[in-house]
């Protein structure tokens, strides 16, 4: 088993899906949380290929950057990427569109001007509803919508969706009420024993 160190700030944000993959797969890793005040020094230390986090150190010899590259690598390693190339492409499609939710929620979270924040929320609810309506349709078309977003088993697409919907309070906390199959999916994901254990023990963060 490789030795992994996942390096990021003390946030969910860009690293949480990879943490969820580790949890679902039952794989041990070091969850390194870099303090923000230490980041300027860390950034120029040569540890990070592009001067960004998250990064995944593998066996102390190679560091992989970019959150989706890390997630895709781990999902492929531990059977959460899809069972064939078409399933993998569908999983990547869902992961990519869920990233739009991440970006929108991030912009709302970090906006300090309350007037601008309110406008960002209003604009983003429209976009989020469009994305979720499409995902509800995709889920409904897959085995009647009572399983997972792609294929017949959990993939990192489901984990990515769950992580991004944890941001719902930033724009509309009740938004999943409009999408019953997606709401049920989120509940199924959170009920996976390994995921439930991670949710219970992980550090509490705002974003």
89 plus 184 within the same structural domain: yes
Query: Percent of the chain beyond pLDDT 90?
Result: 97
Q: What is the CATH number of the domain that holds 185?
A: 1.20.1050.10
Range 36-42, long-range pairs (CB < 8 A, 24+ positions): 36/9, 39/9
Tokens of 207: 């974003």
pLDDT in tens, 58-107: 999 999 999 999 999 999 999 999 999 999 999 999 999 999 999 999 99
136 plus 170 within the same structural domain: yes
184 plus 161 within the same structural domain: yes
Q: What domain range includes position 151?
A: 85-192
63 plus 121 within the same structural domain: no
185 plus 99 within the same structural domain: yes
pTM: 0.96
Tokens of 8: 């990021």
The phi, psi pair for 155, rounded to 5°, reads -130, 175
Tokens of 111: 């906006």
37 plus 133 within the same structural domain: no
CB 20 within 8 A of CB 162: yes
44 plus 91 within the same structural domain: no
Query: Percent of the chain beyond pLDDT 70?
Result: 100
Position 26 pLDDT exceeds 90: yes
Buried b (16+ CB within 10 A) or exposed e, 104-140: bbebbbebeeeeebeebbeebeeebeebbeebbebbe
Instruction: Please give the Cα distance from 163 to 76 (Å, whole number).
Output: 19
pLDDT in tens, 161-205: 999 999 999 899 999 999 999 999 999 999 999 999 999 999 999
Position 143 pLDDT exceeds 90: no
113 plus 173 within the same structural domain: yes
Domains contained in the chain, number = 2
Tokens of 151: 């294929």
Nearest in space to 70 (alpha carbons), one of 128, 100, 29: 29
Tokens of 61: 């010899």
CB 145 within 8 A of CB 181: yes
93 plus 183 within the same structural domain: yes
60 plus 129 within the same structural domain: no
Position 156 pLDDT exceeds 90: yes
- Asked if residue 206 is part of any domain, the answer here is no
94 plus 179 within the same structural domain: yes
């Amino acid at each position: 088993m490789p030795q992994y160190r996942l390096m990021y700030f003390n946030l969910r944000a860009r690293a949480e899906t990879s943490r969820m993959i580790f949890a679902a797969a039952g794989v041990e890793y070091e969850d390194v949380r870099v303090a923000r005040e230490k980041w300027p020094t860390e950034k120029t230390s040569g540890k990070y290929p592009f001067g960004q986090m998250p990064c995944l150190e593998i066996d102390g010899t190679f560091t992989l950057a970019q959150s989706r590259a890390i997630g895709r690598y781990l999902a492929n390693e531990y059977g959460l990427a899809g069972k064939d190339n078409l399933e993998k492409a569908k999983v990547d499609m869902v992961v990519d569109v869920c990233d739009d939710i991440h970006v929108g929620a991030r912009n709302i979270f970090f906006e300090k001007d309350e007037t601008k924040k309110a406008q960002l929320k209003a604009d983003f609810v429209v976009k989020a509803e469009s994305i979720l309506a499409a995902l509800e349709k995709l889920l409904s078309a897959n085995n009647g919508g009572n399983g997972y977003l792609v294929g017949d088993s959990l993939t990192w697409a489901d984990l990515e969706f769950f992580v991004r919907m944890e941001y719902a309070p930033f724009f509309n906390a009740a938004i999943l009420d409009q999408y019953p199959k997606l709401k049920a999916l989120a509940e199924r994901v959170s009920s996976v024993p390994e995921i439930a254990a991670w949710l219970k023990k992980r550090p509490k963060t705002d974003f």
